[in-house]
Amino acid sequence: MRDSYDDKQELHHHMKHDTLQKEFRSLAIKTLILVVGVWAALRLFGIFVAPSIGLTHSHIQIAGTVITVAISFVIINATRHILHKFARTQPQYSSGISFFVILLVSLVASIAILYLWNVNPQEILVGGGVAAIVIGIGVSTIVGNIFSGGLMLTTFPAKIGDSIFIVNDNVRGKIEEITMMYTKVMTDQGTEYVVPNNAIMQGTIRITKASPLEEQLPFAEGDHIELTDSTGKYTGIVTKITMNFTTIRNDDNNKETIFSNQMIQSGRFIITKDN
């Protein structure tokens, strides 16, 4: 039965992966047609129509810039919409694709806008002088976080959904999201802990990968267990396990009793589990 279930899950995963590839292929074709069509129309408009209605080349450049930015947002949102269907089963994979698509689209859009305004990037760096240095220092942290986010999505051992321990602040939790700028951790206390990606990759904040809660507790949902301590004995079925609490339905009165996972892990209870 277990092998059959695993085979079905693997088949379902492959089907979703094939569907994802088809949707991305379709999006790439539509994007190519849209970009080529819009730029060709803008070019023809600037040559044949704009002079007759009094529009200057600057107006065409402004319109081209707005259209380029709008197309970039459309592509990014369409990519996120496609990945949303796949995010539940493969959150790390989906976040990685989303990250690099945003980076690639932003880079291509920036180059296109510079080309539209007849600006050479090298001239900006050389001619800007002190301004370029000041801007470079100002954005260095942002760029560092972005590149760190890319490294975390591709090479960092801990992935989205993994349980971790933040050594510096003695915080345990689960990685919920990795964005271009920060990593969001949902702590065992139910609060959000946001860490800059740059701080993690530089080692300013140290993270160790912990085993999931399901592996730390000696039972799972659906198990029939007995908890015994100095005050009494509790027997029943485990109905729910969260990050902080375990709920047991008592055999005697069918009422639910909630226990702290921290107390269970501390060894306060003697645990007996039925086979």
Q: Is the pTM of this model over 0.75?
A: no
Token pair listed for 200: 């993690």
Residues 71 and 34: beta-carbon distance below 8 Å: yes
Q: What is the pLDDT of residues 172-229, one digit of tens each?
A: 888 888 887 888 998 877 788 998 888 888 888 888 887 666 667 888 888 999 999 8
- Containing 76, the helix (H) or strand (E) segment is helix 57-84
The number of residues in the chain equals 275
- pLDDT for 150-178, tens place per residue? 878 877 777 888 888 888 888 888 888 88
Q: Is 207 exposed, middle or buried (0-12, 13-18, 19+ CB in 10 A)?
A: buried
Q: What is the number of alpha carbons within 13 Å of residue 104 lying toward its C-beta? A: 9
SS3 per-residue string spanning 35-47: HHHHHHHHHHHHH
Report pLDDT digits (tens) over 85-134: 766 667 777 777 788 888 888 888 888 888 888 877 666 555 555 555 55
With tokens 């085993």, the residue in question is 211
In this structure, are residues 183 and 152 in contact, taking their beta carbons and an 8 Å threshold?
Answer: yes
What does the block give as tokens for 104? 């690639």
φ, ψ of residue 255 in degrees (nearest 5): -90, 155
